Every structure is written in structure tokens, then in C-alpha cells.
Structure 1
């Protein structure tokens, strides 16, 4: 009988697949990173326990084009600074990806809040534009001009926090206790430049990052980097405490009830310059 590809793989085939994935070469990306200070109360409101705010209410937008051979990928994230005990890191709220392959693995293995979306990174001479868009709305846009070369940082370890869970089959709660994941990334940078520009946050029902306004722009950079990542489960968390936050992960039709804060501007918040 000819091999049925949906059939079970042998132990040797499984081992070979793991070996091949462990030997992937460095994959470089070109990306724009914007960091700003936001309203501390708004930042604290998006953190599920046991995560807590740090001493500085920072938001980071990372917008990249990844040089996957034959499979170019747009990847982005909007994350807030957070702490888990003594460990400091970032808690991503949304991670738009341009291909389902990148989305599925990250969500199922690490619990990453990935969603299909549009990712734009453009450079024309010194002019730079980068954006994250979903449902026809560019909810984050970074625009500016390169204004100088920055020294290359040493290889750095960075930590992201994710909650991995399975919603209950019966439509309520979870099928098992959710877990908190520390995702550790080792990052190397081979090019880095400063960008003088602005960040625009536009109102979106499904990606309401405009609720984290730009109070003070810290920096905008454009660079080339490569990272690897490993995750580990650090603790099981309270299902009851996490349940009010799981809408962050999905496009829920009930979000139509989540109107923007009173007094917000539909075109979002815009701050010029890097101070």
C-alpha cells in the first residue's frame, strides 16, 4: 500500500523532524521598534494576574519583515512592560502574522496571542513607514526618517510572558488549568539606526491598542536582528482570575459592546518626535 501521509509517523521520522528543526540557520528580520510611555492605570488594567506593572509604563510596537527562504513573513506585536515576581519582561497583547503557519505554531506551543493580519515595513532612502493592520484598520502606524546610526548592542536575552490555555468545550471556562509561560529569546543585532518620527494609534474594535495612548515617545529604531526562542511553563494560574482577560486572544462578536473610552479620538493618538 502506498504511504498515507495523514497516517502515523515512525519514531525515526519524528526524531528526524526534531533534528532538522534544531539546526535551522539564523533567520534575519528587518524591523521597526517604537517604545512609548502610556497611562499607568491603562497599562495595569490589561495585565492578568499574576503579572504586575513595572516602575515605568512602557508599550512597545515591533513591526518586522522576516527573511524566511521562499516564505517571507510579516510579523508584529504590541506589548506592555510587565513583571512576574523578580522577572521583568513584556506581555504581548496582539501579534499580527501574515501567514497561518507562523500563527498556528506560536499559539499552540507557546500560547502566543497571534492573529492573521497585515504587516508593512517600508523604507525609501531615509523615509520609514511601518504599520500593523487588521480588518482594514492600520491600528498602529510608525512614520519618520532615519536620523543616525546607533551602536550595536551586545547579544541580549529578552523574556515575553504568555498564558497558554484551551477554552472549555462546553463554552465556559477552560478544559484544563491555564499556565503561565516564560518565552526566552536570545537576540543578536547586526544593524541599528535611530528614527525621528511619530506613532499613530487608530481606534479598532478588535485591536484596541489606542487605549494605551502615547504619553511620551521614548524611541523609534529600525534594524536587522535574529532571535531564537525557548519556552518553559513556570506556574499554573487561577482559571477564575484569567477568565476575564481571554477576550484579548480572540475576535469576539461581543466586542461590539466594548466601546472606546469617553472622549477618545477615533483617529487615535499621535505624538511627534523622540525626546
Structure 2
């Protein structure tokens, strides 16, 4: 009988896949990163407990083109500064990706709020433009011109906070207790330039980032970096406290309340 590809994989095949994953080469991306001060009440309002605001109401958008071999990827993240215990980091609200393949590991393993979208990074000489778009709306656009080289930073670590959960089968709450994930990213930069420009936030009912306005632009750069990440579950969280924030993950804010269709088994 010919091999049935949806059949069970052998132990050797599973071991080979794990070994290949552990030997991934450095993957470099070209990206635009903007950081700004926003409204402190708005930043605090989007943080599910036990996350808390930091001493500064910062928002960070990262718009990148990732040079995956034979499979270039557009990847974005729109995040707010947050703290958990003694750890300060970033809580992403939406992470548009241009390919479904990029959604699977992030959402199912780490709990990242990834959604399919359009991610654009363009450079023509000194002119730079980058955007995040979904449903035909470029809800974030960064525009500017390169105004000088910056010193390369030392290798650094950044922590992102994610909530991993499964909506309940009956449409009420969660199937299992949600957990808070710390994702630690080790970053190395091989090129960095200052950009003089601005950030435009456009209204979208699906991605309402316009509620976190640009009060003061802190930094705007374009650069090349490579990142390795590792995650860990740090605690189980109160399901009732997280439930009011679950609509952040979905386009339809009522989706968490949807029950199974009539007559379904």
C-alpha cells in the first residue's frame, strides 16, 4: 500500500523533525520599529490581569520582512509596555502575518495573537514606508526618510507576554484554565538607521489600535536583526478576569459567546 500521508508518523520521522528544528540557521529580517508615548489610561485599559502598566505608557510597532528561505514572510506586532511581577516587557495586541504557517506555532504553542494580514516594508533610497493592513484597511502606517546610521546595539533580550487559552466547546468561557506565557527573545542586530518620519493610525473596527494615539514619538528606526525565542508558562490566570479581554484575539468581539450551531453534535 502506498504511504498514507495523514497516517501516524514513525518514531524515527518524529525524531528527525525535532532534530532539524534544533538546527535552524539564523533567520534575518528587515524591519521598521516605532516606539511612542500614548495615553496612560488607554494603555492600562488593554492589559488583562495580572499584567500591569509600567512607569511609562509606551506603544511599540514592529513591521518586518523575514527572509525565510524560499518563503519570505511579512510579520508585524503592535504591543504596549507591560509588567508582570518584577519583569517588564511588551504585551502584543495584534500580530499580523502574511502566511498561515507563521500562525500555527505562535498561536497554538505560545498563545500569540497572530492573524492573517498584509505586511509591507518598502525602501526606495532613503525613503521608507511600512504598514500593517487587514480587511482592506492599513491600520498602521509608518512613513519617513533615513536620516543617519546608528551604533549597533549589543545583543539583548526582550520579554513578550501572551495568554494561552482555548474557548470552550459550548461557547461559554474556556475549556481549560488559561495560562500566562513569558516569551524571551534574544536579538542580534547587524544594521540600524534612524528614520525621520511619522506613524499614522487608521480607524478599524477589527484592529482598533487608533485608541492608542501617538502623543510623542520616542524612536523610529529601520534595521536588520535575527531573533531566537523561548517560552515558559509562568502561572495559571483567573479565567473570569481574562474573559472580558478575549475579544482582543478575534475579529468578532462576540465570538467567544458563540454556541455550537443548532443541531450540531
Report TM bin, short chain.
over 0.9
TM-score for the superposition, normalised by structure 2: 0.95
| Contact 2:159–2:184 (CA under 8 A) maintained in structure 1 | yes
In the other structure, the counterpart of 2:165 is 165
Q: In the alignment, is residue 150 of structure 1 matched against residue 150 of structure 2?
A: yes
Offset from partner CA, 1:2-47 (integer Å, 9 cap, x none)? 2111111111111110010110100000000000000000000000
In the other structure, the counterpart of 1:30 is 30
Work out the CA distance in 2 between the residues paired with 1:204 and 1:105: 26
TM-score for the superposition, normalised by structure 1: 0.92
What SS is found at the alignment partner of 2:59? strand
Shift of 1:254: 4.5
Report 1:1-275 matches (<5 A).
1-252=1-252, 254=254
Offset from partner CA, 1:36-88 (integer Å, 9 cap, x none)? 00000000000000000000000000000000011000000100000000001
Q: Cα RMSD between the aligned structures?
A: 0.9
Over 3 Å off, 4+ runs: none
In the other structure, the counterpart of 2:262 is none
What SS is found at the alignment partner of 2:34? strand
Shift of 1:222: 0.1
What SS is found at the alignment partner of 1:102? helix
What SS is found at the alignment partner of 1:43? helix
| Contact 2:133–2:140 (CA under 8 A) maintained in structure 1 | yes
Offset from partner CA, 1:188-219 (integer Å, 9 cap, x none)? 00000000000000000000000000000001
What SS is found at the alignment partner of 2:152? coil
List runs of 5+ in structure 2 lacking aligned partners: 256-265
Work out the CA distance in 1 between the residues paired with 2:61 and 2:28: 18
What SS is found at the alignment partner of 1:245? helix
What SS is found at the alignment partner of 2:229? strand
- Figure out how many residues of one structure are paired with residues of the other and give that number: 255
Work out the CA distance in 2 between the residues paired with 1:124 and 1:4: 49
